[in-house]
Structure 1
Amino acid sequence: MRCFVTGAAGFIGSNLVDRLLAAGHEVVGYDNFSTGQRSFLEGAGRSAGFTLVEGDLLNPDVLRPAVAGCDIVFHLAANADVRFGTHHPFKDIEQNLIATFNVLEAMRAHGIKKIAFSSTGSVYGEAAVIPTPEDAPFPIQTSLYGNSKVAAEGLISSYCEGFGFQGFIFRFVSILGERYTHGHVFDFYNKLRNDPSSLEVLGNGKQRKSYLYVQDCIDAILIAVERADAKINIFNLGQNEYCEVNQSIGWICDRLGVSPKLSYTGGERGWIGDNPLIFLDCSRIRALGWTPKLSIRDGVVNTLEYLMANPWVLDARG
């Protein structure tokens, strides 16, 4: 296939680019480098099958010609700044919804019918059904980020119905692993690197979250695109386990050999829209033959070791 990957220089995007190239596909990577790292594409850049287009999804004049001739779009680019959504509410709408509309219109202009989209488990809000299946009733939205992803999902579904597209929508838990550039492991390690004697924890530390290793996430995406055949295919991606934030802190501190004094900001939420329990039912993707290889603990420790070996990532994203 000739694959178009948005957010190609990002955490998940760059790992996906490498996997697609290793499988023999051609890849057009698209990124504006607002948060993506050029070094993540160094290996891809040595492949004759890789083409990089530097552009913004909000600029259709660059986007439309770039996607021409591709067979499938993997749309991973987004504003992932979940915590500070209330500081700039239009940012989620612009980068997650309007950008998705531009991608869909570029596809329609060139007759490209397949799109794989990175959504989020946050679309379930504070779900009444735990573990939460894909057909759970949607609650009132509590996160601007989650709301923008719900809207983007609806837009993709409408294009599937109206223009004969085939959609693959992936509702992720938080992803961990190599090239990780934001999230709780990043934040805790960065704080402990600066001051190993103390650690501020948002909320009460009892928030329960599920996490997934990036290569397991990509395995699931590729299996779904290969094996699922419905018009609109929606999959939760996560583990059959979760951990408390305090447990994750314990694994990180054990690996670093530190015993900081923990201070909590209080309440069961770390920020507005933070869900104190995220645990998804992933039986639908498992039915296609997918099983994650790494546990949450191993994913946390592997991510920490990557950051320890690559301190430039913390400096670049600081």
Structure 2
Amino acid sequence: MSDFKNLKDKKILVTGGAGFIGSNLCDALLQNGAQVTCLDNFATGKRENIAPFLQNLQFTLIEGDIRDMETCQKACLDQDFVLHQAALGSVPRSIKDPVTSNEVNVGGFLKVLVAAKDAGVKRFIYAASSSTYGDSEGLPKVEDVIGKPLSPYAITKYVDELYADVFKRTYDFDTIGLRYFNVFGRRQDPNGAYAAVIPKFVMQLMAHESPIINGDGEYSRDFTYIDNVVLMNLLALTSENTESLNQVYNTAFGERTTLNDLVKYLKEYLADFDPKIADVEVKYGDYRKGDVPHSLASIDKAKNLLNYNPQFSMKDGLKEAVTWYWENLK
């Protein structure tokens, strides 16, 4: 990770800071000397993710919900920057319960945005999503060409981008949106109905259970290791290029992998710890509603405007992640 010592003693709010991505951001910010406030209601975040920071005098935890305006105002008070990660992820969850996804991802987003603007926050960086590309078939995905959303979740994340754009035009409030592409890595939760595919498959393989791939396994994704995502957030926080502000950026590695290949790599890397995993059979199920067939990011815009240079390919990241899971979850 690059050196971001210019973050020393900066006051930074991380919403959803106890979550998978949020806790990794808190960690990196603390390592660079920032004063970090974490806001989380622990709906999907985990206390163990932030347990190592609780004794750090530079770290403050606010337990609360972004749907509550007073909580947002309290959290944004005296902050220099906001990294907004709090959201209800998952396409299937949003299809099952679109109302709650909208309340959190749109209503909650707007409340944090308003509170940040009113508190005089200098810059608001937020988690956008590759789901915004919807039914746009072109590859690689380029930021200014999107299609129609394919799920309630995708709608919520696109609305966030529209709000951010309007807040610049109306209030001259600076934001940067980061469209995450299938992020994976340490602290990602393998349990629960809406677990992401990589930790879920890892847990199944470690238990010698057959992972079930939705469809024929030829759908592809731009799987993105967590350290690349942390890097993008820190670059967005510290960029001195005014042209880089009030933009959305693909946050990815720029390489796609089919689900069949993903499972093949997982079996190979996990077999280093347990040779029996190499023999676990893969099963196939139905295609999932709302799933985009292929996802691949162009990262040229981030390279040009933010000097983004991702350090971890999917395979490099997968090796790191598999080791972490083996050591922490076995």
Query: TM-score of the superposition, structure 1-length normalised?
Result: 0.92
Question: Any conservation in 2 of the 1:180–1:303 contact (CA below 8 Å)?
Answer: no
Bigger CA drift: 295-304 or 47-56?
A: 295-304
Are 1:309 and 2:321 matched, yes or no? no
Deviations 1:266-305, CA, capped at 9 Å, x for gaps: 4xxx411111100011001112322111111122232222
Distance verdict in 2 for CA 1:128–1:276, change over 3 Å = closer
- CA distance in 1: counterparts of 2:320 and 2:19, whole angstroms: 18
Query: TM-score of the superposition, structure 2-length normalised?
Result: 0.88
Are 1:84 and 2:98 matched, yes or no? no
- CA distance in 1: counterparts of 2:238 and 2:249, whole angstroms: 14
Are 1:209 and 2:198 matched, yes or no? no
Question: Any conservation in 2 of the 1:79–1:95 contact (CA below 8 Å)?
Answer: yes
Output aligned runs, 1:49-198, within 5 Å. 49-136=58-145, 138-181=146-189, 182-196=195-209, 198=210
Equivalent residue of 2:92, what SS?
Answer: coil
Q: What 5-or-longer segments of structure 1 have no aligned partner?
A: 313-318
Please tell me the residue identity of whatever aligns with 2:223. Y
Question: Any conservation in 1 of the 2:123–2:237 contact (CA below 8 Å)?
Answer: no
Are 1:42 and 2:55 matched, yes or no? no
* Structure 1 residue 87: Cα displacement: 0.9
Please tell me the residue identity of whatever aligns with 1:17. C
Question: Any conservation in 1 of the 2:206–2:270 contact (CA below 8 Å)?
Answer: no
Deviations 1:193-249, CA, capped at 9 Å, x for gaps: 4443x3321111111111111111111221133224245121111112111100110
Equivalent residue of 2:319, what SS?
Answer: helix
Equivalent residue of 1:180, what SS?
Answer: coil
What is the aligned partner in structure 1 of residue 259 from structure 2? 245
Partner residue of 2:312 out of 258, 279, 294:
294
Equivalent residue of 1:273, what SS?
Answer: coil
Partner residue of 1:225 out of 229, 232, 237:
237
- CA distance in 2: counterparts of 1:55 and 1:188, whole angstroms: 32
Question: Any conservation in 2 of the 1:159–1:165 contact (CA below 8 Å)?
Answer: yes
Instruction: Note the aligned Cα RMSD (angstroms).
Output: 1.6
Question: Any conservation in 1 of the 2:92–2:289 contact (CA below 8 Å)?
Answer: yes
Partner residue of 2:269 out of 233, 243, 255:
255
Deviations 1:84-108, CA, capped at 9 Å, x for gaps: 3211111221111000011012123
* Structure 1 residue 149: Cα displacement: 0.1
Equivalent residue of 2:242, what SS?
Answer: coil
Aligned length: 307
What is the aligned partner in structure 2 of residue 316 from structure 1? none
Deviations 1:12-38, CA, capped at 9 Å, x for gaps: 111111111111111111000111111
- CA distance in 1: counterparts of 2:319 and 2:216, whole angstroms: 22
- CA distance in 1: counterparts of 2:186 and 2:203, whole angstroms: 16
Bigger CA drift: 250-259 or 155-164?
A: 250-259
Deviations 1:36-86, CA, capped at 9 Å, x for gaps: 111211222222111110001111122212210001111001001222321
Equivalent residue of 2:128, what SS?
Answer: strand
Question: Any conservation in 1 of the 2:81–2:237 contact (CA below 8 Å)?
Answer: no
- CA distance in 1: counterparts of 2:211 and 2:76, whole angstroms: 45
Please tell me the residue identity of whatever aligns with 1:294. F
* Structure 1 residue 5: Cα displacement: 0.6
Question: Any conservation in 2 of the 1:85–1:145 contact (CA below 8 Å)?
Answer: yes
Q: What 5-or-longer segments of structure 2 have no aligned partner?
A: 1-9, 190-194, 272-276
Equivalent residue of 1:251, what SS?
Answer: helix
- CA distance in 2: counterparts of 1:249 and 1:96, whole angstroms: 31
Partner residue of 1:265 out of 285, 289, 293:
285
What is the aligned partner in structure 2 of residue 24 from structure 1? 33
- CA distance in 2: counterparts of 1:304 and 1:98, whole angstroms: 36
Please tell me the residue identity of whatever aligns with 2:201. F
Please tell me the residue identity of whatever aligns with 1:37. K
Bigger CA drift: 40-49 or 165-174?
A: 40-49
Please tell me the residue identity of whatever aligns with 1:150. Y
- CA distance in 1: counterparts of 2:202 and 2:224, whole angstroms: 19
- CA distance in 2: counterparts of 1:284 and 1:46, whole angstroms: 39
Please tell me the residue identity of whatever aligns with 1:219. L
* Structure 1 residue 113: Cα displacement: 4.0
Question: Any conservation in 1 of the 2:125–2:236 contact (CA below 8 Å)?
Answer: no
